[in-house]
């Protein structure tokens, strides 16, 4: 469970960094970042509705 939490935190940091860069480029890129974290961590529930 601890390892899973670590992976989720790492994925969340990557998603935030990716989303920040993507947001500067385009909104669709930002949405793609949410899709990515959704696949990496199903517990996050995927992209926000």
Helices (H), the chain: 2-25, 27-40
Q: Which two three-digit tokens encode residue 33?
A: 């970042």
pLDDT tens, residue by residue, 6-48: 788 888 787 777 766 655 555 555 566 767 766 666 565 545 5
Task: Please state the domain count of the chain.
Answer: 1
Q: Which two three-digit tokens encode residue 48?
A: 């926000």
For residues 11 and 25, what is the distance between their CA atoms, to the nearest angstrom?
21
Q: What is the extent of the structural domain holding 31?
A: 2-42
Predicted local confidence at residue 15, as pLDDT:
74
Whether 48 is covered by a domain: the verdict is no
Whether 49 is covered by a domain: the verdict is no
The b/e string for 16-29 (b: 16+ C-beta within 10 A; e otherwise) is eebbeebeeeeeee
């Amino acid at each position: 469970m601890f390892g899973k939490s670590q992976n989720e935190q790492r994925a969340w940091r990557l998603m935030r960094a990716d989303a920040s860069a993507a947001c500067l480029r385009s909104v669709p890129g930002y949405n793609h970042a949410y899709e990515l974290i959704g696949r990496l961590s199903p517990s996050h529930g995927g992209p926000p509705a």
